[in-house]
Structure 1
Amino acid sequence: MGKEQMLIDVCLLAGRMMAQAGAETYRVEDTMTRMAAASGFPNSQSFVTPTVVMFHLEAMSSTHFARVNERGTDLEKIALVNSISRRMAEGEINLDEAHKMLKKLDEKSLSFPAWLQVVAAALASGSFLLMFKGTWNDYLPAAFIGGAGFIILLIAHYFSKVKLFAEFFAAFVIGGLAVLSVRLGLGRDLDLIIIASVMPLVPGVLITNAIRDLMAGHFMAGVSKGAEAFLTAFAIGAGVAVVFSFFV
């Protein structure tokens, strides 16, 4: 494999990994161009959308691309890829070493185990309830319902692979459990319990990245990410609304 093809593979791999981990569009493009510049190609071109990463090296006649099939949030992987690119730019590692490090990192799953994610969602839900000026009497119901909703989200996403359906079903379960807890006398403030319990489902990072991409001039990526965040928020609201329409 020639140097140019190796560089293209390295840049596309780094870009795809960062895009899949939820990095901002301008950060992905900057990382790819920095790595190319460090290898002696300062005029390379990159173009990134939420679903595809494209890269053109000035010495090549064709443009290469990599498909982004799955997207999530993994800030640790973003930081590690960014660190590899910076070390390459500073001359600490060469192109072959960067390729091996990226391949090894791509094979790793840095996500927290499912049980820990559920526990974190439960604690976050209870904490949000207190932040919204709820009472300690509703802390345990909110924590339990938030954790249960997150379990449903993981299960639904695993089987359906459709994010919007998973968010809708999780919000539906949260709304149903919240209504049930209030009717059984376990909780008091239905609205606060629901609001706190759905907070782990809210696409906060996606909304932030959409705004940052728009501010950086990446209008296509910013608008598409904003639309995805809007649809996710709509699915969450629709799930709760269905419960209210039948049981409240």
Structure 2
Amino acid sequence: MSKNNEHVFEVIELCLLAGKIMLQSGAETYRVEDTMTRIAEALGIPNSHSYVTPTGIVFSTDDTNPAKLIRISERSTDLYKVTLVNGVSRKVSNGELTRQEAFEKLMEIEKENYTFPIYQQVLAASIASACFMIMFLGQWHDFFPAFITGGVGFLSFIFLQRVVQIRFFSEFLASLIIGVISMLFVKIGIGEQLDKIIIGSVMPLVPGLLITNAVRDLMAGHLVSGLSKGAEAFLTAFAIGAGVAVVFATMS
């Protein structure tokens, strides 16, 4: 392999790693493609081509090197990683980082886990659930039931996601648990407005980022990614609604 071909191959690997981290962390499709293009151009490949979908990235150059595909099997929400990769991209574009230094930094970013501890996530979900309940014109008397229900529901979602590993079923079961707990609170007299408690408690499960990215990708002309993310958001919303509906159908 010539030095030129070796350089091109290493740049492609760098771009794919940056795109993989961003896509797995919840970045929009057009942002992923733009970042990969900027890195390649800064490292001497001005005419690169990329095709990004939620489940894979194809990247190639105008040279004789073949296109390379990388598979994306897991996706989460970690916008801090997206910010870090964007920072590396800017430093590469400004000549502050070499290709090897950028690759090492991206490897560190990929290995690090920047998510908050589970207890902090559950606490935030509990507070958000109770506040959403108030925002939807609920009563302060239901603040504590919504706080508990939202926290337990989100904790069950995290646990079920690790066991089931199918987002649809974990969200369905988590919303079912939320419906059961909410109804129990109301039946024993601790809660009053069942609908407000449930609505507030399921809000941490609502796919807000997916819906936003789907709309932004569609507006940017990425129809495949936009429609697929929209379909994923629809399935998530359907799972949440179905879980609550099952509770109403069996316990009311």
In structure 1, which of residues 128, 140, 145 is the aligned counterpart of residue 132 of structure 2?
128
State the match for 2:11 in structure 1. Answer: 7
1: distance between equivalents of 2:50 and 2:76?
A: 21
TM superposition shift of 1:3: 1.1
Aligned to 1:206: 210
Q: Does 1:32 align with 2:14?
A: no
User: Are the aligned partners of 2:8 and 2:45 in contact in 1 as well (CA < 8 Å)?
Assistant: no
> Which of the numbers 162, 166, 173 marks the counterpart of 2:166?
162
Q: 1:190 aligns with which of 169, 178, 194?
A: 194
Normalising by the residue count of structure 2, what TM-score does the alignment of the two structures yield? 0.97
Give the C-alpha shift of residue 57 in structure 1. 1.8
Work out whether 1:151 is the aligned partner of 2:155. Answer: yes
- The match for 2:220 among 213, 216, 220 is 216
1:1-248 superposed matches below 5 A = 2-248=6-252
Identity percentage of aligned residues: 51
Counterpart of 1:47 in 2: which secondary structure?
Answer: strand
Cα shift at 1:60: 3.6
Q: Tell me: CA distance 1:181–1:139, structure 2 relative to 1, closer, same or farther (3 Å).
A: same
The amino acid across from 2:169 in the alignment is F
Task: Specify every segment of 5 or more residues in structure 1 that has no aligned partner in the other structure, as ranges.
Answer: none
**Counterpart amino acid of 1:202?**
V
- How far did residue 59 of structure 1 move? 2.3
Q: How many correspondences in the alignment? A: 248
CA RMSD of aligned residues (A): 0.8
For structure 2, which runs of at least 5 residues remain unmatched after alignment?
Answer: none
3-state SS of paired residue (1:92): coil
2:123 maps to amino acid: V
Give TM-score, length-normalised by structure 1.
0.99
SS state at 2:68 partner: strand
Q: Distance in 2 between matches of 1:205 and 1:102?
A: 23
